Amino acid sequence: MLYLSRLVDGYLPGLTTMLTWIISTLVLLVLLAFPPTRSALSWFIDVPGKLIFQWVLFLVLRLFQAHMVVVRNLLLPRAAIFPTLESKDRVRRE
């Protein structure tokens, strides 16, 4: 198998990765065809899947918030972000 991988990658780079995805998808579909393995896989997808979804949603929201801070700091004048002590206008405008 290793020799075939080197031979295929020599002529068509990236084909081994594509074949790996195809084979793993076919194995997953075969596992879903049988009820006992389907119920075990549904537990693995259901319980951790909710946690992973919440974690990814949290990360996306934090990333969006960070980008909004950068955009706000780029658009506001410097005096509004870093007020000087010499300025009579000590009210911070946002």
pLDDT at residue 67, rounded to an integer = 94
pTM above 0.85, yes or no: no
Return averaged pLDDT per consecutive 10 residues of the chain, 94 residues in all. Answer: 56 72 88 85 76 87 93 82 65 55
Where along the chain do its domains lie? 1-33, 44-94
Closest CA to 77 of 91, 52, 63, 94: 94
pLDDT at residue 87, rounded to an integer = 58
pLDDT at residue 62, rounded to an integer = 95
What are phi and psi for residue 85, nearest 5 degrees?
-75, -25
